[in-house]
Amino acid sequence: MTRFPLTSTTLVLLPLAALAWPLIEVVKPVEMTRDPIVEPAVVGTTKRADITLRAAHPYSSVEVTIGNSVCKFSADEDYREIFFTIPESGKITIKVSAIWPKDIPETALLISLEPDHLLSRSFTLWGTAKATQEFNCQWKVPK
């Protein structure tokens, strides 16, 4: 035993304290951050959506109409943004018109509508040379 027990005890505990400090930083609880709550579709508000086209054969042009909003795609485009308004019923009608070159057989065009904070919808348009079709979809609108 040494003459100064306080000194010997301090010398032993100092390295342990030096190791404990970083461990306390690692073990202490971390504040969790949550993602913002996804807001439901609000009646009469304008929503932004992405429209993506996937074609079995190259098209000449495609026109997508949702309410008063129109998106025109040329042959080299397959992605666009559109802004549309959701009515009180939550139902919207999407009109798609496509034109293909004359030498293309019957083909398919997949239209994907991905609105912000809402479920995405996909529709398939079949046709030759020129095709037009209306698609209906609905989102739940809170009362």
Tens digits of residue pLDDT in 16-58 = 888 888 888 888 887 877 767 655 555 677 788 899 999 888 8
Name the token pair of 140: 């739940």
Of 66, 45, 44, 41, which Cα lies nearest the Cα of 139? 41
State the pTM of this model. Answer: 0.64
Q: Sheet holding 69-74: strands in order across?
A: 69-74, 61-66, 91-99, 130-138
Tens digits of residue pLDDT in 71-129 = 898 888 888 898 888 887 888 899 999 998 888 888 899 999 998 888 889 999 998 88
Strands, E assignment, 21-117? 46-55, 61-66, 69-74, 79-85, 91-99, 107-115
